[in-house]
Structure 1
Amino acid sequence: MSDQGKVSPARRRGLADEVADRIREAIFSGAYSPGAQLREVELSSVMDVSRGPVREGLRVLEREGLVHCAWHRGTTVTTLSTEDVAELDSLRGALEDLAVQQVIARASDEDLASIAKAAEVMERVADTHEMVRLDIAFHDTVFAAAGHRRLADAWEGIRCQVHLFLLTRINLSTEGYLGCIPHEHRELVTALRSRDTDTALQLFAAHRRHAVDVVTGTIAPS
């Protein structure tokens, strides 16, 4: 049997991926908030592309959990429900607990230095959306330092949704946010460098819980 009968023809997806990147960036920068309508006609006009790549790009973002497509409402930026937040938090917690354990058991001093550097960058940030990016980047370095490929892949699968969750958090309030986030991450770095598993797990859990409590209204935004 020839190879031609085994695989489907390849299609170039570069333009659709670029469209997805640009819309994702607009969401992460705050240009499109949760619930905002994303109209194919407008997007194709703004980006000077046909509606085909826009439609494909939106499908990419739907798979990432960033947008929701419904035939009667069109496409909107995802609004996380209480159930969404609970599921995302529980899955993130399970992944992050394993990452912390792996980092403490296996990470090199160079890995820990990379994590510390990711936290230090936060000290000089004055923009809340940039702080969210750096928060995600910090956790990227933690998962990378864990040295567990499938764990890193699992994190990548929810990464954009966690980013959206943090955007939801700052949309509620930014009071005290720029001050508390660098402090929390300094504590995380200290625990990892001390290779204190119990303390690190407790601090990472508290870090996650604070944001969840703000989003769910359990505590007032600080």
Structure 2
Amino acid sequence: MKSAVVTFPGSNRERDMMHALELVSGRKPAAVWHADTQLPDVDLVVLPGGFSYGDYLRSGAIAARAPIMDAVRAFAEKGGLVLGVCNGFQMLTEAGLLPGALMRNAALTFVCREVLMETASTANRFTAAMQKGATWRCPVAHHDGNYFADADTIRALEDGNRIAFRYAKGTNPNGSINDIAGITNAAGNVLGMMPHPENYVDPLQASTDGRAFFESICNAFAVA
């Protein structure tokens, strides 16, 4: 699997993501700068976590209008896989690639801790090789992770099997509606999630529970 990670001013998880992708896929990801206008020939594009442009205006709002995002939209429209984690999830909603919005955490405080995740859907190319209903450990670190959308949108996400991940066993850290931790677009090739699976892939880290997620993505491009 060939991948690329886009860095914006204020990103702080791009190296974590690149390490995770290389560790699991065996290929070093391409580094893409926010001011670039083209993407390399890859299978997966990742928008990493951090505080792009200092979260000025709204988290992800300026990054969603960066020059590289036109190429990201075109890539997604052609069926390419796009993953946004934390700030990257915020960018995807601001760019209109995913519905809804990420609001301030319900307690109005920055949250940095471990949560339990449930793999709620395997009906997309990101989670197809994961076990539906399984729970796993994953860290979060965000101030604006409270997912919200109108009732019709939530119904469409639920009915369309587009909620990829939920916070499990009462560990919702931000007040997200229906415990939503990650969603996909209707085609299943764009996924946004608030928790950071890239920080739980290496045996040197507190857990390797996030590795199954990246292995599932790689599996989508495995040659039979």
Structure with the higher strand share, 1 or 2: 2
Q: What TM-score bracket applies, with the shorter chain setting the length?
A: under 0.3
- Which protein is bigger by CA-based radius of gyration? 1
When the two structures are superposed, what TM-score results if normalisation uses the length of structure 2? Answer: 0.23
When the two structures are superposed, what TM-score results if normalisation uses the length of structure 1? Answer: 0.23
Structure with the higher helix share, 1 or 2: 1
